[in-house]
Amino acid sequence: MSRYGCQSMAAPMTRVLMRRPGESLRRADPAEWHYNDYFDAEKAIAQYDAFVELVAASGTEIVWLEDTGDGLSDAMFTRDASLITRAGAVLLRMGKPLRAGEPELHGRAYEAAGIPVLGRLSGDARIEGGDTLWLDEHTLVVGMGFRSNREGVRQLNELLNPQGIEVLGFDLPVWGGEAACLHLMSVISPLAEDVYLVHSRLIPAALWSLMKERGITLIEAPEAEFHDSLGLNLNVMPLSPGDCLMIDGFPGTRTVMERHGIRVRTFAGDALCMACEGGPTCLTNPILREA
């Protein structure tokens, strides 16, 4: 059985790439990295450990990247620097200049784990993994905003069309501006193959229509919690279909999901996720999800 290949958002996650925050996060200048007043490095590291326990308890094998003090404090958000397919990994190119060194870290980890690299983006292409979402195993959608662009979508099509994968790009709005992090997955979290948690107001209309055409149930999270959580209530990660992790403190969002039969478990994430603009989906890069 192959030990890599993820072309699904919610099939049982059995292997995942993660990086535990350490010296780089401790030394990060919050103003430089656009972390906010919730930021507290020691608390964030403790919250990360609690998150890891939930992931590990599911039986998922974690492939670790180490924070050796390289200064790449956002590298704990492993979702963003590479994309795993059944044909191998694609090393991406980051829209946030401070994160430019991350794809090579992933490349080295994949080499060590025996996972082939199918290709890498180059030149003006920009794609961050948080802007990508598998609508089905043959269709990858990309949100094009400040982190991902049209040239990135073009290069992904060049790499992935021969693998039977079509890549569709949709424009994202300005929202919090160039320095902030708005990914496609900041406004859509698949919870099961055909059930997504959404913040509709920020979803490209054409993508919203495509999801409806596909028969996907769109669960609307409470507007007030989106604002209170700085958008992190929307960042919900399935360990398997309908079995999800999110940060705590947002009971309205949890309740709407539970009403749709979704199991939700929480961890404290103010100093880690709300502070650094990334939730459980961003902290994990699934290497293998299989039905």
Angle CA(236)–CA(239)–CA(71) in degrees, nearest 5? 65
- Interaction between residue 152 and ligand CIR (CB under 6 A): no
- Interaction between residue 74 and ligand CIR (CB under 6 A): yes
- Interaction between residue 79 and ligand CIR (CB under 6 A): yes
User: Rounded to an integer, what distance in angstroms lies between the CA atom of residue 200 and that of residue 158?
Assistant: 30
**Up-side HSE of residue 41: CA atoms within 13 Å toward CB?**
14
User: Rounded to an integer, what distance in angstroms lies between the CA atom of residue 152 and that of residue 155?
Assistant: 5
Give alpha helix (H) positions in 114-191. Answer: 150-160
Of the residues 67, 80, 102, 193, which one makes contact with ligand CIR according to CB under 6 A: 80
Residues with Cβ within 8 Å of 97's Cβ and at least 6 positions away in sequence, in order, are: none
Of 9 and 276, CB closest to ligand CIR: 276
Of the residues 55, 121, 185, 211, which one makes contact with ligand CIR according to CB under 6 A: 185
CB of 79 to ligand CIR, least distance (A): 4
Of 127 and 185, CB closest to ligand CIR: 185
- Interaction between residue 12 and ligand CIR (CB under 6 A): no
CB of 291 to ligand CIR, least distance (A): 24
Q: How far is CA 145 from CA 83, 116, 128, 285, in A?
A: 18, 29, 10, 21
DSSP string, 78-129: GGGTEEEETTEEEE-B-SSGGGTTHHHHHHHHHHHHT--EEEE--TT--B-G
Of 47 and 186, CB closest to ligand CIR: 186
Of 278 and 286, CB closest to ligand CIR: 278
Of 183 and 199, CB closest to ligand CIR: 183
Residues 85-124 that bind ligand CIR (CB under 6 A): 96, 99
Q: Nearest to residue 42, comparing CAs of 56, 72, 21?
A: 21
Q: Which residues contact ligand CIR (rule: CB under 6 A)?
A: 34, 74, 77, 79-80, 96, 99, 130, 181, 183, 185-186, 276-278, 282
